Amino acid sequence: MFGSKIHLSSRNNHLFIEDVDCAFLAEKFGTPLYVTSESRLKENFRTYHRAFPDAEKYFAVKANGNLAILRILAREGAGADVFSSGELSIVSLAGISKEKILFNGNSKRWDEHIMAMEAGVRISVDSHEELDLLSQVASKKGHEVEVFLRINPDISPKTHPKIATGLKTSKFGIASEDVAEMFKRAMQLPGVEPVGLHCHIGSQILDVLPFAETMQKMMDIANSVVDIGGEIRFLDIGGGLGIQYMPDVPAKTPDDLAKSILPIFDSRCKEIGIHPKLILEPGRSIVADTTIMLTGVNLVKRAHVNFAAVDAGFNTLARPMLYDAYHHVVAVNKADEQPRDVYTVVGPICETGDILAKDRRLPEIGHGDVLAFLDAGAYGFSMASQYNGQPRPAEVLVSGSRAEIIREAEDHSTLLAGQRIPARLL
Ligand code: LLP
């Protein structure tokens, strides 16, 4: 019933994650609720490791910034792609060592550059303007920062336009033709030492060909850098491998990705005479299918369609609203029942666009039932907000028959945290 998602099963009409009944989880911890399978998380990382034994896997923390999840990945040997000082501080706490952290970003604040320098992590530089500024500050502070140059490879992966990042027109990276010259300049500037090339072409990419094309381009650029006397110690190809969200739209595996890019990497490195460490930055393909989001049905309104009004909205899971994304829905306490009707699942937010799932065939549901949204582990909680005075939900980690809170639910006091009424208004 759940395909390759062996951490999910239906037992006696209830959805289980590992050996825990999701109806029990909803009752014990309340809804909405994010629930992650530890065994699936480890297995996903190990699948990458088997496919790319010699490459570093830098988990993209923006996909899921939960400390316990990062700790598990750290223990599995993951590094981290971080995009802010907040993400840097959390991965440090999770136990990821500085040698395996890359500080990315097209618009880093000044204090973030300083924090990254002081933490001793490598920085991916997005433009020559950033390179110059970084050189000035690093040399003033007496640091020598190892930098990657982020390349805009001008590759057009077939994905939602909002998450295609390697197009010429996107805000990310340095144009391919400018890279060699910039690398040379970085070699001459004080305070910075160029050590690698970096790119990321987009997310939820369902084919491996764009990655192969990107690898060829990166190798062409590596060649041009070697020609000007540069040394490439790291080649970072980014993340972006998609997952199967819809039952009939399959995705490629890390193994497919390895088969498509490693032969190019190996042969071209040999041809150019370089031995860089390969880095990958997977986010979604490590965490998405580890996690389900449980939401309680408040009521079903029979209007021109059947609206199943639930307690999670785009404040809880933003992807459907932002990208028209599909998340498969299962009725937790009716998991073996045949579909009886068609429902549009909507949240509590005061916007018409607050639709989590459209036209889904589900068993007969009503007040008190619980729905599970599958594949919610990537860009799920990490993009949740408090819009409309909605506290963000709890997160639970399941391992076998154990279920532990890894983030407490917020409450109304969290909504007020840090707010002040100026004395003159008291
Ligand atoms: N590296 C860099 C530099 C990135 O910008 C990203 C994602 C990744 C790695 C990880 O990509 P992944 O393996 O997860 O595809 N919120 C959107 C996705 C945004 C992706 C942003 N960058 C969504 O929910 O689909």
The per-residue DSSP string of 176-228 comes to GGGHHHHHHHHHHSTTEEEEEEE---BSSB--SHHHHHHHHHHHHHHHHHHHT
- 307-310: long-range contacts at Cβ-Cβ below 8 A with a sequence spacing of 24 or more? 307/343, 307/344, 307/345, 307/346, 308/343, 308/344, 308/345, 308/346, 308/362, 308/365, 308/371, 309/346, 309/347, 309/348, 310/32, 310/345, 310/346, 310/347, 310/348, 310/356, 310/371
DSSP 157: -
**Residues 265 and 219: beta-carbon distance below 8 Å:** yes
Is pTM, for the whole model, over 0.95?
A: yes
Atom of ligand 1 nearest to the CA of 104: 3
Interior CA angle at 208 toward 203 and 210, to 5°? Answer: 70
Ligand 1, atom 19, residue with closest C-alpha: 163
Distance CA(316)–CA(356), nearest Å, equals 10
Q: What amino acid positions are annotated as catalytic residues?
A: 350
CA atoms within a 13 Å half-sphere pointing along the CA-CB vector of 318 = 14
> For residue 25, which amino acid is it?
L
- What pLDDT shows up at residue 165? 73
Atom of ligand 1 nearest to the CA of 150: 3
For ligand 1, mutation pick of 57, 126, 280, 284 (most atoms within 8 Å of CB): 284
- What pLDDT shows up at residue 2? 87
Distance CA(292)–CA(296), nearest Å, equals 13
SS3 string, 7-39, reads CEEEECCEEEECCEEHHHHHHHHCCCEEEEEHH
Q: Dig out the tokens for 347 from the structure.
A: 């949240």
Q: Dig out the tokens for 131 from the structure.
A: 């390179």
> How far from each other are the two terminal CA atoms of the chain, in whole angstroms?
59
Ligand 1, atom 20, residue with closest C-alpha: 203
Residue 198, phi then psi, degrees to nearest 5: -140, 145
- What pLDDT shows up at residue 160? 77
> For residue 139, which amino acid is it?
S
Distance CA(373)–CA(380), nearest Å, equals 10
Distance CA(275)–CA(381), nearest Å, equals 38
- What pLDDT shows up at residue 72? 98
Interior CA angle at 215 toward 236 and 288, to 5°? Answer: 60
Distance, CA 238 to ligand 1 centroid (Å)?
Answer: 9
CB-based burial label for 382 (10 Å; 0-12, 13-18, 19+)? middle
Query: Taking CB atoms and a 6 Å cutoff, what residues make up the pocket around ligand 1?
Result: 60, 62-63, 81, 104, 163, 165, 200, 203-204, 238-241, 281-285, 319, 323, 378-379
Where residue 238 falls (left for φ over 0; alpha for ψ -120 to 50; beta otherwise) is left
DSSP 43: H
Distance, CA 227 to ligand 1 centroid (Å)?
Answer: 32
Distance, CA 202 to ligand 1 centroid (Å)?
Answer: 7
Distance, CA 114 to ligand 1 centroid (Å)?
Answer: 25
> For residue 231, which amino acid is it?
E
Residues contacting residue 167 through CB under 8 Å, at least 6 positions apart: 152, 154, 155, 156
Distance CA(357)–CA(317), nearest Å, equals 11
For ligand 1, mutation pick of 281, 293, 316, 383 (most atoms within 8 Å of CB): 281
Distance CA(416)–CA(418), nearest Å, equals 6
Residue 201, phi then psi, degrees to nearest 5: -95, -10
**Residues 49 and 75: beta-carbon distance below 8 Å:** no
Residue the block writes with tokens 């998450």:
163
Total length of the chain: 426
List the chain pLDDT tens, one digit each, 426 residues.
Answer: 788 899 999 999 999 999 999 999 999 999 999 999 999 999 999 999 999 999 999 999 999 999 999 999 999 999 999 999 999 999 999 999 999 999 999 999 999 999 999 999 999 999 999 999 999 999 999 999 999 999 998 888 877 777 777 777 889 999 999 999 999 999 999 999 999 999 999 999 999 999 999 999 999 999 999 999 999 999 999 999 999 999 999 999 999 999 999 999 999 999 999 999 999 999 999 999 999 999 999 999 999 999 999 999 999 999 999 999 999 999 999 999 999 999 999 999 999 999 999 999 999 999 999 999 999 999 999 999 999 999 999 999 999 999 999 999 999 999 999 999 999 999
Q: Which residues pair with 347 in a beta bridge?
A: none
Helix ranges restricted to H, 52-142: 67-76, 85-94, 110-119, 128-141
